[in-house]
Structure 1
Amino acid sequence: MTRKEIARDFLKLAAKGHSHEAFRLHIGKKFKHHNAYFKGDADTLMLAMEESARTNPNKIFKIHHILEDDNLVAVHSHLKQSPTDLGFAVVHILKFKADKIVEFWDLGQPVPKETINENGMF
């Protein structure tokens, strides 16, 4: 698998409620993440992803762009907690060591009902 494919697989597994498998397959040793609302270790993030999937079983996660630069992969996506939710535009940045994710950032912006920008968020 390429790093882009690993990033895609990791995020899709986690969004579908398979965070344990996502972490087992794709997370490296000494993993750390940078979400301000959780401790920075793998177990905390994995359990938060699992809880999110359990709380929102009809979650929709659509990837729009994946970019790779050296050991970094950025994924631009649309995350909706339910089919009627406007959701968030999300950017995940994943840092790799060989074929394992060792560092993770996630940034999101709510999709507004009305937007001034005619190009949209995706």
Structure 2
Amino acid sequence: MSDSLTTVINTFPDGTWQTKRAVAERDLVFVHGHRILDPKEKGFSIVNIFRFEGEKICEQWTVGQRIPDVSLNENPIF
């Protein structure tokens, strides 16, 4: 487990992660999920993108957005 993931787990012991979808194509894997750090909040929509060389992750990007209290449209975030 990475040091940053260990830090998140130790800092937010009640936090949760729910994978909503995962897509793999050639050397790329995309994982879209719902991260809640505090059960009293709606949390974040997170996308992790991984690029592989063989069996090793050689690049990783993360983008996210806090889930708003009010949406500007009728489309769900997940």
TM-score when normalising by structure 2 = 0.90
* Aligned mate of 1:57, from 6, 10, 13: 13
Query: What secondary structure sits across from 2:7 in the alignment?
Result: helix
* Aligned mate of 1:85, from 31, 41, 46: 41
Name the residue aligned to 1:71: 27
More helix by share: 1
The alignment of Structure 1 onto Structure 2 pairs a total of residues equal to 78
**How big is each residue's C-alpha offset from its partner over 1:57-99, in whole Å with a ceiling of 9 and x where there is no partner?**
1111011111111100001111000222211100000011122
Tell me the C-alpha RMSD between the 2 structures.
1.1
- Aligned-partner Cα distance in 2 for 1:50–1:85: 21
Name the residue aligned to 1:116: 72
- Aligned-partner Cα distance in 1 for 2:41–2:54: 37
TM-score when normalising by structure 1 = 0.60
Specify every segment of 5 or more residues in structure 2 that has no aligned partner in the other structure, as ranges.
none
Q: Which has the higher contact order (CA 8 A, sep 6+)?
A: 1
Deviation of 1:48 after TM superposition, in Å, equals 2.1
Deviation beyond 3 Å, 4+ runs, structure 1: none
Identity across matched positions, percent: 31
More strand by share: 2
- Aligned-partner Cα distance in 2 for 1:66–1:55: 26
* Aligned mate of 2:3, from 44, 47, 66: 47
Name the residue aligned to 1:98: 54
